[in-house]
Chains A and B, each alone.
Chain A
Amino acid sequence: NAGVTQTPKFRILKIGQSMTLQCTQDMNHNYMYWYRQDPGMGLKLIYYSVGAGITDKGEVPNGYNVSRSTTEDFPLRLELAAPSQTSVYFCASSYSIETQYFGPGTRLLVL
């Protein structure tokens, strides 16, 4: 099993550009999550999903959108990139809330 995969690994965006961060899991987990990790900080939940077709906001959802059309995929969309969105983004999936499996992360720089 590949586990949780994320693409791209690294991206530089200009202010106002949009992009989609891809996340795929092959463990048939119902729960999926998007976090951001700012330098020297912990993880903040952006959005989560408890199953295909169901999404909900986390702690820091502003400036992001998600969709969950399949169990495997949970893309994160940035519509108008801002410097404050410079961060490392982690996708995770799980059967239960405690044991989350994280992807390798996407490093995003907005200039």
Chain B
Amino acid sequence: GQQLNQSPQSMFIQEGEDVSMNCTSSSIFNTWLWYKQDPGEGPVLLIALYKAGELTSNGRLTAQFGITRKDSFLNISASIPSDVGIYFCAGPNNAGNMLTFGGGTRLMVKP
């Protein structure tokens, strides 16, 4: 089946730093999604990307849909303590009836 690989698995950064994480797949995805899971809660959708090359922002977050359709990137600028959590990439399978999730990138921010 389709798999999504996220890197890095975890990051420990200083407040104010910029963060970059990515998600790759061996197969093509037509939609890329980025979810965030706060500690002890369920994931929440941050950004959805629908077109190859698309660059979309949501506040301090910017995500890009790779040209090859096999990767996506999420950047967070000027990190703050509430950015702590697990960031998941996801995409619909070929049948369009379920989402495949990556393993997540765990972000820790030191005040």
The segment from A12-20, A63-71, A75-83, A102-110 that touches chain B is A102-110
Structural contact, B101 and A42, CB atoms closer than 8 A: yes
Structural contact, B103 and A41, CB atoms closer than 8 A: yes
- From known contacts A42-B88, A42-B102, A43-B88, infer whether A99 and B45 are also in contact, taking CB-CB under 8 Å: yes
Cα–Cα, bound, A89→B1 (Å): 22
Q: How many residues of A contact B (CB 8 A)?
A: 23
- Across the interface, A100 reaches (CB within 8 A) one of B1, B31, B45, namely B45
Structural contact, B44 and A102, CB atoms closer than 8 A: yes
Smallest distance from the beta carbon of A94 to chain B beta carbons, Å? 9
Task: Beyond A48-B98, A97-B97, A98-B48, list 8 extra A-B contacts (CB 8 Å).
Answer: A4-B42, A45-B98, A58-B98, A59-B1, A59-B98, A100-B45, A102-B42, A104-B41
